[in-house]
Amino acid sequence: MAEIALPLIVTAIANPDLEGFVAGTLFSQGWNVIHRALDAESLISFLDHHPEERENVILIYSPDLPGLSPDLIASRQGSLRQVIGFSQNQDDQKLFLGMHSTPHDATELLNIVRSFVRAPLLRSSAIQSSRSRRARVIALGTPSGSPGCTTVAINLAMELSALGHETLLLDADVRRPSVAALLSQHKLDADLDSRSISPHLSLSEFTQLRVSEFPDYLDRFTEKFDFLIIDLGSIEGVSDSLTDRRWTSTLIHWSCERADELWILGRADVLGLYRMKSLVEDFTQISIRAKVSVILNMKVSGKKGDQRETHFLSSVAPLQPQRIFSLPRDSRSTIKAEDERATLMEIDEKGALRKSIARIAVEVAG
């Protein structure tokens, strides 16, 4: 299994507030801050005495460090994994290498630094995060063991395509891909591009063989389609995924930073609430750019269902979700759709679940 080495962090920033913010934020997110230089001399000394670590170091600096010069940064760039500079001064940004405007918050800082964690894998994609793109990107994930993510992703994509929007459904559940099986699409993972299966609807599946082409792969799709629906499957341990070495975490990392929205599906039964609470606790440890929404899946009617919904809403409150949807339990329709390898629209157009997903699609497209 392909691995991507995690970087080591060295800071060289004189301003104590900025340095504390950078080092503290990165440490809290799992990066190893191995040295905090007070001046250029201490930076040079550390790098010269740790040649075995130097190639994996990301140097985060500011031109205000005593003794620091553009020539010094340029001379060290080739021996380090990456150099990132922060300054609001336009002259500094012209003279020094690797300069960025000083980040305003943790999300902005993490987005910059994470773009180099998988370098060069994600570098071009993350740095160009501000570029205009055609597609609206919605990623769907669930706590471990919570079913329904793929069913919702398939039918959301179908409803959006029925509204006339060019839609791509990307199966990014690399451990348990199932879109192809549920829609009877043989050898979907062998297609180098997306596969059109109906008017305005295409499918694709992310595999390990495509990991090296990942930035171009996603950029191409976001320019080609109106909507990109990503089925992530389980996102349990999401805080670890954002610094994970394994290629299997690539789509989770990209979705948290580059998707427009991350939708989290959960159930309100005993195990569903337990797993959702664990996932919510995980999310409180990280900062992501995608806007979070929540779906209460397989909602049951009646007093018991209302009580469970109250507990569910309480459990997801710390996420401060942008939107909260609910989908009814509709076992008859979902079982029939699985048996016939079809979408809900095709087998039960008037079913409760199909109507609920159609309403969500209209809201999203509106």
State both tokens at 144. Answer: 């471990």
Q: 302-316 and 270-283 are packed helices; what angle lies between their axes, rounded to 10 degrees? A: 20
Taking 60 as the threshold, does the pLDDT of residue 25 lie above it? yes
Question: Exposed/middle/buried for 64, CB within 10 Å: 0-12, 13-18, 19+?
Answer: middle
For the ranges 54-63, 130-139, 188-197, the lowest mean pLDDT is seen at 130-139
Average confidence score pLDDT of the chain: 86
> What confidence tier does 125 reach under pLDDT thresholds 50, 70, 90?
very low
Taking 80 as the threshold, does the pLDDT of residue 146 lie above it? no
Taking 90 as the threshold, does the pLDDT of residue 81 lie above it? no
Identify the pLDDT of residue 236: 80
> What confidence tier does 328 reach under pLDDT thresholds 50, 70, 90?
very high
Tell me which of 1.10.3720.10, 3.40.50.300, 1.10.490.10, 3.40.50.12160 is the CATH number of domain 136-365: 3.40.50.300
Please state the rounded mean pLDDT for residues 182-201.
91
**Tens of pLDDT along 103-114?**
988 878 887 887
Identify the pLDDT of residue 247: 62
- Residue 184 Ramachandran class (φ > 0 left, ψ -120 to 50 alpha, else beta): left
What 3 state SS string does the chain have?
CCECCCCEEEEECCCHHHHHHHHHHHHHCCCEEEEECCCHHHHHHHHHCCHHHHCCEEEEECCCCCCCCHHHHHHHHCCCCEEEEECCCHHHHHHCCCEECCCCCHHHHHHHHHCCCCCCCCHHHHHCCCCCCCCEEEEEEECCCCCCHHHHHHHHHHHHHHCCCCEEEEECCCCCCCHHHHCCCCCHHHCCCCEEEECCEEEEECCHHHHHHHHHHHHHHHHHCCEEEEEEEECCCHHHHCCCCEHHHHHHHHHHHHCCEEEEEECCCHHHHHHHHHHHHHHCCCCCCCEEEEEEEEECCHHHHHHHHHHHHHHHHHHCCCCEEEEECCHHHHHHHHHHCCCHHHHCCCCHHHHHHHHHHHHHHC
Identify the pLDDT of residue 112: 80
Taking 80 as the threshold, does the pLDDT of residue 208 lie above it? no
Taking 60 as the threshold, does the pLDDT of residue 224 lie above it? yes
Taking 90 as the threshold, does the pLDDT of residue 128 lie above it? no
Taking 80 as the threshold, does the pLDDT of residue 7 lie above it? no
Work out the percent of the chain whose per-residue pLDDT is above 90. Answer: 55
Please state the rounded mean pLDDT for residues 193-220.
84
* CA–CA separation, 323 and 138 (whole Å): 13
Give the number of C-alpha atoms closer than 13 A to the C-alpha of residue 209, restricted to the C-beta side: 5
Taking 60 as the threshold, does the pLDDT of residue 218 lie above it? yes
Identify the pLDDT of residue 286: 75
Identify the pLDDT of residue 26: 87
Beta carbons within 10 angstroms of residue 139's beta carbon:
26
Tell me which of 3.40.50.2300, 3.90.1150.10, 3.40.50.10320, 3.40.50.10540 is the CATH number of domain 8-117: 3.40.50.2300
The model's pTM: 0.69
> What confidence tier does 239 reach under pLDDT thresholds 50, 70, 90?
low
Q: How big is the CA angle at 174 (ends 277 and 186), to the nearest 5 degrees?
A: 130
Please state the rounded mean pLDDT for residues 167-192.
91
Taking 80 as the threshold, does the pLDDT of residue 126 lie above it? no
Taking 80 as the threshold, does the pLDDT of residue 209 lie above it? no
Taking 70 as the threshold, does the pLDDT of residue 141 lie above it? yes
Q: Do domains 8-117 and 136-365 have the same CATH topology?
A: yes
> What confidence tier does 252 reach under pLDDT thresholds 50, 70, 90?
confident
- Would you say 61 and 85 are in contact if contact means Cβ atoms under 8 Å apart? yes
Domain ranges of the chain: 8-117, 136-365
Please state the rounded mean pLDDT for residues 302-312.
88
Greatest Cα pair distance, the chain, in angstroms, is 72
Identify the pLDDT of residue 124: 37
